[in-house]
Amino acid sequence: MDTEILSPDGSGYARAESVLRDGGLVSFPTETVYGLGADARQDRAVARIFEAKNRPTFNPLIVHVADVAATKRYVKWTDMADRLAAAFWPGPLTLVLPLRDDSGLSPLVTANLPTLAIRVPEHPVAQALLSEFDGPVAAPSANPSGKISPTRAQHVINGLSGRIEAVVDGGECGVGVESTILGLFDEPTLLRPGGLPQEAIEAALGGPVVTRSEADPLTAPGQMLSHYAPGAAVRLNAVEIVEGERLLGFGKVEGATLNLSVAGDLTEAAANLFHHLHALDADGDAPIAVSPIPETGLGRAINDRLRRAAAPRDV
Ligand code: AMP
Ligand code: MG
């Protein structure tokens, strides 16, 4: 694949919009760093973000939208969110709020959590692109996993050329550090320091913000492990089914109750993963055997998640 470099003008935005609509990946500048965007409603498109970045785990992504009104389609809004949005959006603040049941977002975006990280970026190119697309764009930083976040289009090209459809070249990013992430749980909780200082948030709220180490942000809303794991026991690397088991297949295997990808396509398997686990969970508690999945590319993230599903429960 040749990565197209798009100009930040009407024709560039129109092209970027059509790439996103077709399930492709478009990098674009925000005021913090360049993001790697995909339509947050399309499972395969979101799976491709993890593939392009070579991320070893399905950690949750931040959804970017054009304005405050759009956020309310995806999260359960609160008065505190209203105050913060009025003070700081558009801008480098991400809010984590309960996900709406009818959000329509891919479960890969939230790593199957019941909460969603969302923000309205300020950069004019991000604004123009999001307005043109008029939908939710999941976007982590546009760098290969483990590398430095990009603040110019050339950095994105250096890291991801040939792995993504396009990058909108909007020059240099102003802030250069990631957005501040605030969880709006019982107490407002700083999950990651970033471009907006904690003091500014506290001044707007008229009260303190509690902090939580970023090493442990995901235990916040409800038990993380229980969201990884179906009720039934899970057995990995199953080459044959034991009596009473249901098989979650991968590749051309016999007798699968559901198959992540008959073609053995890891992107398709990632896109199906949470949907199939939910479907099996809803359909009883007979143990689940899972076919072997190669430990390469997206297979690493899939296996990471399946290992968590198979791990002993720490109720
Ligand atoms: P990045 O992918 O580099 O943009 O980072 C996204 C950050 O958002 C990570 O630190 C995630 O842990 C955090 N994040 C995203 N969604 C959630 C969520 N629902 N709850 C808590 N943290 C989140
Ligand atoms: Mg990053």
Domains 4-211 and 234-310 share a fold: no
Instruction: Tell me the pLDDT tens digit for each residue of 33-82.
Output: 999 999 999 999 999 999 999 999 999 999 999 999 999 999 999 999 99
Does ligand 1 lie within 6 Å of residue 96's CB atom? yes
From CA 71, how far away is CA 103, in angstroms rounded? 10
pLDDT tens for the 315 residues of the chain, in order: 999 999 999 999 999 999 999 999 999 999 999 999 999 999 999 999 999 999 999 999 999 999 999 999 999 999 999 999 999 999 999 999 999 999 999 999 999 999 999 999 999 999 999 999 999 999 999 999 999 889 999 999 999 999 999 999 999 988 778 899 999 988 999 999 888 999 999 999 999 999 876 445 454 433 354 456 788 999 999 999 999 999 999 999 999 999 999 999 999 999 999 999 989 989 999 999 999 999 999 999 999 989 988 987 655
Pocket test for ligand 1, best of 189, 218, 227, 228 (most atoms within 8 A of CB): 218
62 in Cβ contact with 117 (< 8 Å)? yes
Separation of CA 94 and ligand 1 centre (Å):
9
Separation of CA 117 and ligand 1 centre (Å):
6
Cα–Cα distances in Å, from 22 out to 16, 18, 140? 10, 6, 19
Taking alpha carbons only, the member of 124, 95, 310 closest to residue 204 is 95
| pLDDT score at 226 | 45
| pLDDT score at 221 | 38
Separation of CA 140 and ligand 2 centre (Å):
6
| pLDDT score at 212 | 77
Tokens of 64: 């970017």
CB contact set of 80 (below 8 Å; sequence gap of 6+): 184, 188, 205
Domain boundaries, the chain: 4-211, 234-310
- CA 268, chain centre distance (Å): 16
| pLDDT score at 293 | 98
Does ligand 1 lie within 6 Å of residue 37's CB atom? no
192 in Cβ contact with 216 (< 8 Å)? no
Domain 234-310 CATH class label: alpha beta
Tokens of 252: 């051309």
| pLDDT score at 228 | 62
| pLDDT score at 185 | 85
Show the beta-strand stretches assigned E in the chain: 4-6, 26-29, 34-39, 62-64, 93-98, 115-119, 137-138, 166-168, 180-184, 188-192, 210-211, 234-235, 246-249, 258-259, 288-290
From CA 276, how far away is CA 269, in angstroms rounded? 10
Neighbouring C-alpha atoms within 13 Å toward the C-beta of 2: 3
Which is the closest atom of ligand 1 to the Cα of 116? Answer: 19
The residue type of 300 is R
Please tell me the pTM assigned to this model: 0.91
Fold for domain 4-211? DHBP synthase (3.90.870)
| pLDDT score at 12 | 98
| pLDDT score at 313 | 67
